[in-house]
Structure 1
Amino acid sequence: MLRGMATVSFYADDLEAAKSWYTEVLGFAPYYAVPGGYYEFRIGDYQHELGIINRKFAPAAAQNQPGGAILHWHVDDLQQSFNRLLALGAKEYSPITPHGDGTFITASVIDPFGNVLGIMQNPHYLDILTKTHPA
C-alpha cells in the first residue's frame, strides 16, 4: 500500500523566513513556488519533497505545537548535522540517541517555525541506495 514518501509538509506563519531558513539549511533554493502560499524543495538521493506551507492553509485540526510523527532524513554525519541545525536556530526536540546495537542513531529538532525535523544515520538507507543507485 505505501510505496514511498511523496511529500512531507511543514507549516510556517512566516513563509518567507521559512523559505530562507530551509534554503540555508539545504544549500539550495526551492524549485517550485506559489508566492504567499507554498515553497517546495526536492531533497536527497530520491528527490523527496519538502513542502513549506503558509500556516493559514493548515487543516483546521492542525496543532500549533510540535508533536506527532517524526520523519527522519538520512544524514551522513549526524553530529555535524545536528550541531548545524542548532547553530541555525533550531531547538533540540530529542537528543542524539543510538538504537539497538548502536548502528541506528537518531535526533530531532524543532525548526524556528515549530515543525519537528528528524535526522538519522541508518545503514539500511545506504544499503538500498547502493542497490538502486550503483556507482
Structure 2
Amino acid sequence: MINGLRTALYPVNDLPAAKAWFARVFGVEPYFDQPFYVGFNVAGFELGLVPDGEPGKAGTKVYWGVENIEEEVRRILALGASTHSDIQDVGEGIKVAELADPFGNVLGLIHNPHFDPKAVR
C-alpha cells in the first residue's frame, strides 16, 4: 500500500543559499543540517535539499498545499522565485500554480478544498 507524500527532494547547486531561501519560503528552519543533506519538517512532511544536484524543471513535480494560493504566489515571487505557470483553476475549486525557485527547480502550490488531513497516514 502506498501512503501519502512523505518527502520532496530538491537538488541544489548552492546549499547555503538554498537553505536560507527555503527557510524563508516555508517559515521553518532545518531540523537536519549536514553538508550532504538539509531537511525541513513542513507540516509533518519532509522537504530535503540535496547538494551538488542537477536542478531542473522537467523532473518530478511536488505540490505543497496552501490556503490562499494568490497570496502565497505573491509572497514567494517577492522572495526571488519566478513564474513557471500561472495560477490555474483545474476544476471543483482546486487551483494550482508552479513557481521556479532560484535554483532551477519547480515549486508547485495547490489549493484543494477537498483535501482531508485526517486521511493522511
TM-score after normalising by structure 1? 0.82
1:90-129: CA deviation from partner (whole Å, max 9, x where unpaired): 011110000124x00000101001111100110121xx12
**Matched length:** 120
Map of 2:37 onto structure 1: 38
Gaps of 5+ in 1: none
2:10/2:55 contact within 8 Å kept = no
> Looking at both structures, which has the greater relative contact order when contacts are Cα pairs under 8 Å and sequence separation is at least 6?
2
The match for 2:3 is 3
Moved segments of 4+, more than 3 Å: none
Larger Rg computed on CA atoms: 1
Is residue 87 of structure 2 the alignment partner of residue 96 of structure 1? yes
Larger CA deviation: 1-10 vs 13-22: 1-10
Specify the alignment match of 2:29 in structure 1: 29
| Structure with higher helix content | 1
Check conservation: 1:64, 1:114, Cα contact below 8 A. yes
| Deviation at residue 65 of structure 1 after TM alignment | 3.0
Superposed CA deviations along residues 53-83 of structure 1, whole A, max 9, x for unmatched, are 102xx4xxxx543113321111011001001
- Structure 2: 5+ residue stretches without partners: none
Residues 1-135 of structure 1 mapped to structure 2, 5 A cutoff: 1-34=1-34, 36-44=35-43, 47-55=44-52, 58=53, 64-101=55-92, 103-125=93-115, 128-129=116-117, 131=118
* Superposed CA RMSD: 1.6
Q: Distance in 2 between matches of 1:116 and 1:66?
A: 5
